[in-house]
Homo-oligomer: A and B are copies of this chain.
Amino acid sequence: MNQDNYPSRLLETAISEFAGLPGIGKKTALRLVLHLLKQDISDVKKFSSSILQLKQEIRHCSVCHNISDTGICNICSDQKRNHKILCVVENIKDVMSIENTRQYSGVYHVLGGIISPMDGTGPGDLNIKTLEDKVAGGGIEEVVLALSTTMEGDTTNFYIYRKLNKFPVTISTIARGISIGDELEYADEVTLGRSITNRTLFESSFNNGKGY
């Protein structure tokens, strides 16, 4: 579609903002914008303010770094959960995916990303120091590394392993039941649940010569 003939600059601006979202092209953006244009002004205000409010007021749990409305998130403040097991994940989507399996009753540590030289994300950009401090502080028996089975995920796993293996803590990874190259968020719940139940010692996952 020729973008030169939008009949309105305001429309063009809105379309280009929507087309900046991942997976949204110009045509889809036009469809979404026209849909919103048909709504009542109050609905458009609600839509518009929902994302701005989220951005302005969003807080992160001071314990696990997950997105939260309160200082400490529901999972970290839940005394029924096992606070001796810590599951290390990349982001909030992975927390939600694992919670949906109902196979895990420990707590989480959200890294906020994975080590990816291509994207310019180094260990310093992630919540790894706080993870180290948490483990150094004692009281944690097991750290479950639940990152995507990609090269970046494995790199991050190994980096964290090297930081933590001096502490008296068991370091495990989720079972490689998940196909190599798959993103965690797209795994089905049964596979993902099984992979947490069958987590293996991190050492065994690279010592046995098979690699990943």
Contacts and interface: CB of A to CB of B under 8 A. Distances in A.
Interface of A: 1-2, 5-11, 13-14, 17-18, 20-24, 27-28, 30-37, 39, 41, 44-58, 61, 66-69, 73-75, 91-93, 95-97, 99-100, 185
Contacts of A74: 7
A34 B99 contact: no
Copies held by the complex:
2
Given A34-B92, A93-B30, A41 B56 contact: yes
Contacts of A46: 17
A175 B204 CA distance: 69
Contacts of A23: 28, 31
A55 B51 contact: no
A185 B212 CA distance: 51
A192 to B, nearest CB: 12
Contacts of A58: 8, 10-11, 37
11 contacts: A5-B99, A7-B61, A7-B75, A14-B54, A18-B47, A18-B51, A21-B35, A22-B32, A23-B28, A34-B93, A41-B56
Contacts of A1: 96-97, 100
A14 B95 contact: no
A24 to B, nearest CB: 8
Contacts of A92: 7, 11, 34
Nearest to A75: B7
